[in-house]
Amino acid sequence: MDERTDWQSTVPANVDPKVRALYEYWDAKRGDAPYPSRADLDPLEIPKLIEHLSLVEVRTTDPRFVYRLVGTSVARALRHDPTGKPVGENARPKERNAVLARYSFVADHGRLIYHSSVLQEKTNDFTTVQRLMLPLGPPSGPPNMILSLVITTD
């Protein structure tokens, strides 16, 4: 199965209101740019979303994606706090490539991904989530961070 069949590069109308709120905030912050920079965002402007957010650094070396900030609700859903760890480290082995492919798509194309799926963690492969992944970076360069919102739907 094509791993991208459940991805969307737009936000559907029937998403959780928190997903819609983050998308609208990100969209307003980017203005005419393809995406805003990390410095454009102010957590005090989105306090109700903080616990659902994670911030992932995009690197040019391995590991390519590293969690820099993980909200309490995200850590609770994952059943562990991956702050400082590589993305995919706790993914079920057969799902690791699919997890990394989503991050690579956002980083390589500077486009958002929205999808709803079951978590692919060794510690939780039964909770359904809505996930919005948004690129962040300098106006003249590729994304250097990925902002992600995870909302459990179970």
pLDDT digits (tens, 9 = 90+) for 57-80: 999 999 999 999 999 999 999 989
C-alpha 20/C-alpha 146 separation (Å) is: 17
**Whether the predicted pLDDT of 13 surpasses 90:** no
Mean pLDDT computed over 135-141: 92
Percent of the chain, pLDDT > 90? 73
pLDDT of res. 3 = 44
Q: Which two tokens stand for residue 137?
A: 């970076």
Sign of CA dihedral 16, 114, 56, 38: negative
pLDDT of res. 127 = 85
**Whether the predicted pLDDT of 1 surpasses 50:** no
SS3 5: helix
Q: How many residues does the chain have?
A: 154
Residue 46 burial by CB count (10 A; 0-12/13-18/19+): exposed, middle or buried? middle
Q: Between the CA of residue 95 and those of 37, 65, 114, what are the distances in Å? A: 30, 16, 18
Mean pLDDT computed over 13-41: 95
**Whether the predicted pLDDT of 2 surpasses 50:** no
pLDDT of res. 9 = 75
- CATH architecture of residue range(s) 3-152: 2-Layer Sandwich (3.30)
Cβ atoms of 151 and 52 within 8 Å: the answer is yes
Identify the residue with better confidence: 112 or 123: 112
Q: How confident is the model at residue 82 (pLDDT cuts 50, 70, 90)?
A: very high
Cβ atoms of 88 and 65 within 8 Å: the answer is yes
Mean pLDDT computed over 85-95: 92
pLDDT of res. 154 = 67
**Whether the predicted pLDDT of 11 surpasses 70:** yes
